[in-house]
Homo-oligomer: A and B are copies of this chain.
Amino acid sequence: METLTEKTEGGAKANSPVPLLNPVEIEIIQIFVQFSRALGQPRSLAEIYGLLFISHEPLPMDTLIERLNLSKGSASQGLKYLQDLGAVQTVYVAGERRSHYKAVAELRNLAGRFLRRQILTPFEGGEIRLNRIAAQAQKLSGEQRKHINARVKMLRSWGRNVRRVLPFVLKILGDGI
């Protein structure tokens, strides 16, 4: 993940010698970055979520940009995505004009929305295709048709099982804390 501390180049203007992130923040963010890779999500999302997760107070976008070394665009889009997912919420901070953000840390909600978006929705599109395939298959000769019908049946069953498993997953994830 590259060092996340200020690179003090030997330039004219003295750079701030203070690290952008402390060791704890770095480790926490690395956990989320690693996990985001496993889920195929962009690193910037993990960085944003990670820093908000470990921060004891809500942070404005500027702070995220500065400390994570993000572009405005990434920060803005990343926060929007995380809000849509329900992983981040805005918080009103007295006397502050800027929106402040905090991590929503309920695994059940996070996982639920993510799984629904990522797994369930693609599976639903599949249903439509399976009907088309079943229709097509009837035009084919005996041997072929039989095999295709079996496969279609199997995919339908997979779909049912996946849909069936979600509520259980969410229940278990929601139980302990």
Contact A34 B122 (CB under 8 A): yes
The answer to whether A129 and B30 touch (CB under 8 A), given A53-B151, A119-B38, A158-B107, is yes
Selected interface stretch from A71-79, A93-101, A130-138 = A130-138
Q: Quick check: which of A2-10, A11-19, A169-177 contacts chain B, the rest being far away?
A: A169-177
Task: Mark the stretch among A21-29, A61-69, A81-89 that contacts chain B.
Answer: A21-29
Return A125 CB to nearest CB of chain B, in Å.
Answer: 6
Indicate if A155 sits at the interface (CB-CB under 8 A): yes
Copies of the protein in its oligomer: 2
Contact-residue size bin, chain A (C-beta under 8 Å from the other chain): 35 or more
Contact A23 B172 (CB under 8 A): no
CB contacts (< 8 Å) of A173 on chain B: these are: 161-162, 165
A104 to chain B, nearest CB (A): 12
Q: Give the chain B neighbours of A53 by CB distance below 8 A.
A: 151
Interface residues of A (CB under 8 A from B): 23-24, 27-28, 30-31, 34-35, 37-40, 53-54, 56, 105, 107, 118-119, 121-123, 125-126, 129-130, 132-133, 136-137, 140, 143-144, 147-148, 151, 153-155, 157-158, 160-162, 164-165, 168-169, 172-173, 175-177
